[in-house]
Amino acid sequence: MSVLVEVRRLTTPQDLFHAAAEEVLRAASNAVEQNGRFTIALSGGSTPRSLYTLIAANASASLPWDKMFFFWGDERHVPPDDPESNYRMAQESLLSKVPVPPANVFRVPAENPDAAAAAEAYEQTLRKFFAVKPGEFPRFDLILLGMGPDGHTASLFPETAALQEKSRLVVANWVEKFKASRITFTLPVLNSARCVAFLVSGTDKATALHEVLEGKAPPEKYPSKLVQPSEGKLIWFVDRAAASELSAA
Ligand code: 6PG
């Protein structure tokens, strides 16, 4: 099955955040109309933070918060109050500012000193919430992702073990350059989503973006290339700086 890919080139980072916020609103209202709920996985990073801040400031009244269910596509191996925590970032920039019921927020229990156990616990949370049977994967309405300058996404870093995972939903992934574990959704979860949206801003991402969208390098070197939701939509929100090494539109 071919993947529906849309590259949305915006001019400034602000344009990118506005376009992505509109997509979140659209996806939420479609999902609630069709299924009575909206499931979204958030990402860490500075680009998503600006999106969350914008949604909290402008769209708080237009979203069906009681029908929205929040998860995280990846987490750093730190407690929820740590400055590095992706949960803390989303909590501070968005979730604490809107009327979302606390029971709709499912964070990674990354305070567990055993990263593999934290990943396993989060996998069970997903299995239960989505009622997935063995061999199946949850189908998120929307997964938001950032991309690092090395082409990583979620915590799927180049040439790391998690890239090979075919059956687990969430794994701990050792990242040698940080000498730390991260907890991350696996590719089968990303690729089962109804929609995956990448937010990519800044010149430091230009080379990786070119490699991912147009280059010939092996995908293990640029893991974002492996995100191919086979029965979903893939949208790249990119600003002019990030798109500066892409061929002309
Ligand atoms: C994280 C992320 C990671 C991030 C990218 C892009 O926890 O760090 O989920 O995948 O999205 O590194 O980050 P920026 O938007 O800050 O460049």
Verify whether ligand 1 is closer than 6 Å to residue 109 (CB atom).
no
What's the CA-to-centroid distance between 155 and ligand 1, angstroms? Answer: 8
Each residue's pLDDT tens digit, 70-112? 999 999 999 999 999 999 999 999 999 999 999 999 999 999 9
The CA-atom distances, in angstroms, between 1 and each of 143, 229, 232 are 20, 10, 10
User: Mean pLDDT over all residues of the chain?
Assistant: 96
Encoded amino acid at 107, one letter = R
Phi, psi values for residue 216, rounded to 5°: -110, 5
- Contact predicate 237/197, CB 8 Å: yes
Give every CB contact of residue 187 below 8 A, 6+ residues apart in sequence: 156, 163, 165, 226, 227
Residue 4: the pLDDT is 86
In this structure, what DSSP letter does residue 194 have?
Answer: S
Structural domain including 46 reads 4-245
Alpha-carbon gap, residue 79 to 77, rounded angstroms: 7
pLDDT reading at 226 higher than 80: yes
Residue 56: the pLDDT is 95
From 16, 71, 147, the mutation candidate for ligand 1 (largest count of ligand atoms within 8 A of CB) is 147
What's the CA-to-centroid distance between 36 and ligand 1, angstroms? Answer: 30
Verify whether ligand 1 is closer than 6 Å to residue 146 (CB atom).
yes
Each residue's pLDDT tens digit, 101-151? 999 999 999 999 999 999 999 999 999 999 999 899 999 999 999 999 999
Report the pLDDT averaged over residues 42-59.
Answer: 92
Residue 1: the pLDDT is 55
Verify whether ligand 1 is closer than 6 Å to residue 148 (CB atom).
yes
Number of domains in the chain: 1
| Ligand 1, atom 13, residue with closest C-alpha | 45
**For the CA of 154, the nearest atom of ligand 1:** 10
Quickly state the pLDDT bin for 60 (edges 50, 70, 90). confident
Verify whether ligand 1 is closer than 6 Å to residue 223 (CB atom).
no
Judged by average pLDDT, the poorest of 57-61, 74-78, 243-247 is 57-61
Verify whether ligand 1 is closer than 6 Å to residue 156 (CB atom).
no
pTM beyond 0.85: the answer is: yes
**For the CA of 74, the nearest atom of ligand 1:** 9
Higher pLDDT, 249 or 164: 164
Residue 136: the pLDDT is 95
| Ligand 1, atom 12, residue with closest C-alpha | 148
What CATH number did the domain enclosing 186 receive?
3.40.50.1360
